[in-house]
Amino acid sequence: MMKLLGVLPFARELLMKAVTEGDVVIDATAGKGNDTLFLSKLVSNTGKVYSFDIQEAAITATRKKLAENNQDSNVQLIHDGHEKLLNYLDQDDYENIAGAIFNLGYLPGSDKTVVTTPETTIKAIEHIIKHLKVEGILVLVVYHGHAEGKVEKDALIPFIRALPQEHFHVLEYQFTNQINNPPFIIAIEKRG
């Protein structure tokens, strides 16, 4: 058994360190609903989850997963792009986001031409980091094993590495000896 955490367990570990009951969180890519469900349980009934996806199939799958687990009372499902999150964020949630997660790329089992893009992802990241509370964490799971994913990765890396260190801690977590461009994590923590 491997002692190092895989990419997805590590992403959740980071979020568990930043998010507690009653917090405000964002799932920027609802997908099949796994992260939305995870975040909903983390913040409990007193917290709030904003969950975004541009695909109706993802919103439907997430709604179903939440209902099956009786975890839908604290989730706002938003059928829109994550770059438009300021249109949905309540005023009192500004500068109060404890955690956020993105799974970049395409929705598994769906149309692989519908992908996250560097422009919308970077815009969403800029909005979220502005509204992260101190010690809040944004986690990006970067899937770059397809052409559009590589383009997005190549735009993200210089952007996140240029974030000012006096305001943010930025971490890259990856397995460097695996074949086929395995996903990796970028984590951004807001400093005090």
**Does the predicted model carry a pTM greater than 0.85?**
yes
Does residue 111 carry a pLDDT above 80? no
CATH of domain 7-190: 3.40.50.150
Helix (H) or strand (E) holding 33: none
Q: What is the pLDDT of residue 108?
A: 80
> Which residue, 122, 101, 120, 96, is CA-closest to 37?
101
pLDDT single digits (tens) 155-178: 999 999 999 999 999 999 999 998
**Annotated domain spans of the chain:** 7-190
Helix (H) or strand (E) holding 187: strand 184-190
Does residue 152 carry a pLDDT above 80? yes
Mean of all residue pLDDT scores within the chain? 95
Q: What is the pLDDT of residue 98?
A: 98
> Which residue, 92, 37, 30, is CA-closest to 55?
30
What stretches of the chain show up as alpha helix (H) in DSSP? 7-18, 34-43, 56-68, 118-131, 147-161
Task: Find out whether 91 and 117 touch, Cβ atoms under 8 Å.
Answer: no
Rounded Cα distance, 150 and 26, in Å: 24
Task: Find out whether 131 and 96 touch, Cβ atoms under 8 Å.
Answer: yes
Q: What is the pLDDT of residue 192?
A: 86
